[in-house]
Structure 1
Amino acid sequence: MPADLAPPRRERPELKPTPHLRPGRLLAGFLTLVLVVGGGWFAWKYVGTNIVAKQRQGEMAVALADDWSGNRQGDATTDTVRIGEAMAVMRIPRFGSDFEVPVVEGVDDSALTSGVGHFPDTQRPGQLGNFAVAGHRITNGQPFKDFPDLRAGDKVVVETRTHVYTYVLEGSGTDTIVDFSDIWVVQPVPEKARRTKSQRSRAKPTRAILTLTTCSEIFHTDNRSVAFGRLVDSHHV
């Protein structure tokens, strides 16, 4: 091919050496990523879950009121309640005049996000024996965040479809701290189960009591704070 008809010769671009990332920069980038992810998790865990849980609890309270409207006859202790369903509303004046939270059957994560959870093997509100519930002190609506403020003599009001029950606490929110495995606190007669060190006490209850449980420390879950109360009043709605 004649030289004047040959395609123009292209200059090959000069290849620049690829800069090497220094270990310090890699570490800084990794730490930044960890901080961003960790900060997002912390914000969701301790802020986001509270927002979602409070909304859910409010919706359940409204649904419960609608369900009860015009249906106050009979005895709510015979109602069939499935795991995850609300059975009552709890009010604790010590926590504020506007404190109102659903009592939900079960103590799994879903139930405790919806309000305070009722231990399924314990009695219903107002019944002879132990009506035992658990609630979060932090995250998921944190209904029991002020648990240490409870004092002997404080009232706990539990409203069901047919009755309102008033319990009075016999101790403070810091009087009794147990290991999470100590299930004597939810037995029908806790004081008897504690004395006999029985996890499955067969003692027959002679009075209606209330047991409130929560984590003893905000960021520590091995121990539980417990407050006991006795039924002092019951009336039909």
Structure 2
Amino acid sequence: MTDVRADDEADEADVREAGYRRRDRRRAWTFWIGLALVLAGLSILGWIAWQLYGTNIVSQRRHEQTVESLEREWDKPKAEAKPQVQTDQGAAGAILRIPRFGDDFAVPVLEGIEDDALASGIGHFEDSAGPGEVGNYALAGHRITHGEPLRDMPDLQPGDEIVVETRDTVYTYVLDTGGDDLRVPFTDGWVVSARPENPDPDGVGPLPDRDRLITLTTCAELFHTDDRLIAFGHLQSAVDRE
């Protein structure tokens, strides 16, 4: 009888020990899973913080450096000054100034609308007209992250000036539409065509009797959206930079 009782107690001890081991393993797994979730959450928060703040710091520094490089180049004797400066993100050949956004607003215009160009300034649709030329000088810029040069696009009003400075000339455009008067899907290519014409006869578009146009495009909302805000304007004046 004593041996049977001892065996039962030993079996119970083994069962308890096995239960402790299972509980310890569950606790270990719970700890590591929890730690992984915390680290994943911190990584996501870090990525968001970088997108919202870090990219702005980097891009705004690039804006300033490229604008300064352009101004230094253009201040040389005209025979020596190049129309563009080459950056790691592409060629910059103009400076965009929008008085509505402040006297210190100055953003370089880079050729192309690839990610590198848009992360370093305003992008120029390469198939569109150049500054002051007949046709449509079409530009794109970020509204959030990467310097967010067009964050305040909805604040633009008809009559606002858009100034484009090049090596030789300062072009002043005047907006015909407000910054949030027209919202289109990103697939609507007519807005950056040489002579934009809204397929909706009652829709917003540039003035019909102007042949030297400017178009600004940016995201319709601060966060993800497939729509674009569009503002149209026309050339008002062109004066020698000197």
Q: Same fold by TM (over 0.5)?
A: yes
SS in 2 for 1:32: helix
Match of 1:162?
A: 168
Match of 2:106?
A: 100
CA shift in 2, pair 1:159/1:97, >3 Å: same
Asked if 1:221 is matched to 2:214, the reply is: no
CA contact (8 A) 2:210 2:234 kept: no
State the distance in 1 between where 2:169 and 2:53 align: 35
In structure 2, the gaps of 5 or more residues are 1-19, 202-208
- Distance apart, 1:195 and its partner CA: 3.5
In structure 1, the gaps of 5 or more residues are 1-15, 198-204
CA contact (8 A) 1:118 1:132 kept: yes
Asked if 1:59 is matched to 2:56, the reply is: no
SS in 1 for 2:96: strand
Count how many residue pairs are aligned between Structure 1 and Structure 2.
210
With normalisation by structure 2, the TM-score equals 0.80
Match of 2:16?
A: none
SS in 2 for 1:88: strand
- Distance apart, 1:21 and its partner CA: 3.6
SS in 2 for 1:168: strand
- Distance apart, 1:73 and its partner CA: 6.3
Match of 1:184?
A: 190
- Larger deviation: 159-168 or 33-42? 33-42
Match of 1:211?
A: 215
Given candidates 129, 135, 138, the residue that maps to 2:141 is 135
CA contact (8 A) 1:81 1:105 kept: no
State the distance in 1 between where 2:162 and 2:73 align: 23
- Distance apart, 1:84 and its partner CA: 1.5
State the distance in 1 between where 2:211 and 2:51 align: 40
- Distance apart, 1:206 and its partner CA: 5.8
For 1:115, the aligned partner's letter is G
State the distance in 2 between where 1:221 and 1:71 align: 46
Match of 2:25?
A: 20
For 1:141, the aligned partner's letter is G
Write 1 or 2 for the structure with the bigger share of helix: 2
Given candidates 46, 56, 62, the residue that maps to 1:50 is 56
State the distance in 2 between where 1:216 and 1:55 align: 25
Match of 1:34?
A: 40
CA contact (8 A) 1:128 1:209 kept: yes
- Larger deviation: 54-63 or 24-33? 24-33
Match of 1:8?
A: none
Q: Percent identity?
A: 46
CA contact (8 A) 1:129 1:206 kept: no
- The Cα offsets for residues 138-196 of structure 1, whole Å up to 9 and x where unpaired, read as 000000010111111110000000000000001111111111011101111002xx349
State the distance in 2 between where 1:170 and 1:162 align: 26
State the distance in 2 between where 1:49 and 1:190 align: 33
Root-mean-square deviation (CA, aligned residues, Å) is: 2.5
